[in-house]
Amino acid sequence: MNQANGDAIRLEHVTKSFDGRKVLDDVSFAVPRGSAFCLLGRSGTGKSVTLKHIIGLIRPDAGHVLVEGEDVPALRPRELARVRKRMGFLFQEGALFDSISVGENVAFPLRRHTDLPSPEIVRRARARLEQVGLGADYDKMPAQLSGGMRKRAGLARAMALDPPILLVDEPSAGLDPITSDEIDQLLLRAKLEQHKTLVVVTHNMPSARTLGDELALLDGGQLVVRGTATDLERSDNPIAREFMQSQGGG
């Protein structure tokens, strides 16, 4: 259970079942600080469940989930909140709070967890929205945004507290290639310039190649292949090869 120096995230033998169906089966991996780990796999293979384990939304049936050395499932609520403040989470559909404006969604973590004066919070929220190309949409309601815009606003909210770890669920799903590339570039800058640790769940091989220092393929609840994009392309594992080819990654 010792956290190796430099690992921001470490999963050790994590197992999880829902209604008797094993979704994660003895999954282990580590993500060094400042690196990007891309989790690949078909729908329903447990990728999002893995992310939710990291931020403590789901507790494992067995195993350990360590974030910066702290065993997330064992934390008390107050300690868990402290660890969560060090992570930003982009949900698959953005998960914006639909009763408040886009800008207030981004301002929300700042209002909750900082003592900054309101004008400064608004300024920072606007700056985050400008980073994702939504500077003019501060006062819009989430329902007025397209799917891609909601996702970008969700990313701005995830980055609002400037957390050192970003967990990103399907950043390019349902987006056009240009928007998808813009989000990839944003995440890449977060990794290279701000040294953030990224865990990215994706189906998109170009995204995985752009972002990932390490890629891993989940299948049947198990990590079947791990390595660089080249390692996966050259893998003997038929599932990995099929996956890479089907994604145009061959």
Q: Which residues bind other proteins (CB under 8 A)?
A: 52, 55-57, 77, 80-82, 84-85, 87, 89, 91-93, 95-99, 108-109, 112-113, 157
Nearer to other proteins, 1 or 143 (CB): 143
Given a contact cutoff of 8 angstroms between Cβ atoms, the answer to whether 216 and 29 are in contact is: yes
- Identify which of residues 89 and 138 has a Cβ nearer to other proteins in the complex: 89
Q: Nearer to other proteins by C-beta: 93 or 233?
A: 93
d(CA 216, CA 196) in angstroms, rounded, equals 19
Cβ closest to other proteins, residue 84 vs residue 196: 84
DSSP annotation string for 12-67? EEEEEEETTEEEEEEEEEEEETT-EEEEE--TTSSHHHHHHHHTTSS--SEEEEEE
Q: How far is the CB of 94 from other proteins (least distance, A)?
A: 9
Spatial distance between the Cα atoms of 21 and 18, rounded to a whole number of angstroms: 5
Q: How far is the CB of 14 from other proteins (least distance, A)?
A: 18
Residue 169 near residue 51 (C-beta atoms within 8 A): yes
CA distance 103 to 85: 19
Question: What is the distance between the alpha carbons of residues 71 and 53, in angstroms, rounded to a whole number?
Answer: 11
The distance of closest approach from Cβ of residue 97 to other proteins in the complex, given in angstroms and rounded to an integer, is 6
Q: In angstroms, give the least distance from the CB of 242 to other proteins.
A: 30
Q: What are phi and psi of 183, to 5 degrees?
A: -65, -40
Measured in Å, how far apart are the chain's first and last C-alpha atoms?
A: 37
Q: How far is the CB of 154 from other proteins (least distance, A)?
A: 8
Q: Given the complex with other proteins, which of 95 and 141 has the nearer CB atom?
A: 95
Number of other CB atoms surrounding residue 64 within 10 Å: 17
**Min CB(70)–other proteins separation in Å:** 14
Q: Which is nearer to other proteins, 8 or 87 (CB)?
A: 87
